[in-house]
Amino acid sequence: MAEYVVEFGRDGGRVEPDGRLDAPAFHRNHGPLWDALEQHLTGMTGNVVELGSGTGQHVVHFARHTPGLIWWPSDLNQRHLRSIEAWRVYAGLANIRSPLRIDLTDPDWCAEMKNGQVPTSLAAVFCANVIHIAPWAVAEGLFAGAGRYLRSDGKLFLYGPFKRGGKHTALSNAVFDTSLREGNPEWGVRDIGDVEALARGVGLRLVDSIDMPANNLTLVFVR
């Protein structure tokens, strides 16, 4: 089970009485992230699972822009799950469901999906800033589930820092990678080639790599 570099709510940030947490990264990233998603989600309908939703702020922002999509946020951390549900209630949007507790080391993700209690023919899966702060088994489980649950035209979006050809794309990413590995040798900035290999193993392929602020990327996979 992966631990978090930052557990929201224990990082000195504000916690609302209803449990809503506020992530500074949300205020920096939600605009560029939506710009990246919009070009691929426009016109799509169906269900989307967000893996590692954190505070729950991103899923609210995305749902506001996609009334034709039903969003299913998720996390493993109990404090985060409470915040996600609080943001869902606070936003009052009909196209956000209560969060799922998903452990990505399990290729089935959660019992509700394995048993068909929630939709398993997904239009999209979105995951931001997870696989570099978790053991490689989390990336393996992420792709195993995406390969199982994405429908024929479904898309997987993976956001974060990545290496290309074994090399960092920026000095800041190299420094970050070193700090991660010093804290936990199972963590670290992942190489796009290694991630593509996981994708190929479950019938997915990389079709887009979108440059993002702060030397991050959004990778887009399809069947």
Domains of the chain: 24-222 (3.40.50.150)
**pTM of the predicted structure, to 2 decimals:** 0.94
11 or 26, which is more confident? 26
Is residue 65 within 8 A of residue 2, CB to CB? The reply is no
pLDDT band with cut points at 50, 70 and 90 for residue 10: low
pLDDT band with cut points at 50, 70 and 90 for residue 169: very high
Is residue 189 within 8 A of residue 217, CB to CB? The reply is no
Question: What percentage of residues in the chain have a pLDDT greater than 90?
Answer: 91
* pLDDT of 190 over the 90 cut: yes
Both tokens of 147, joined, read 């390969």
What HEC string does the chain produce? CCCCCCCCCCCCCCECCCCCECCHHHHHHHHHHHHHHHHHHCCCCEEEEEECCCCCHHHHHHHHHCCCEEEECEECCHHHHHHHHHHHHHHCCCCECCCEECCCCCCCCCHHHHCCCCCCCEEEEEEECCHHHCCHHHHHHHHHHHHHHEEEEEEEEEEECEEECCEECCHHHHHHHHHHHHHCCCCCCEEHHHHHHHHHHCCCEEEEEEEEHHHEEEEEEEC
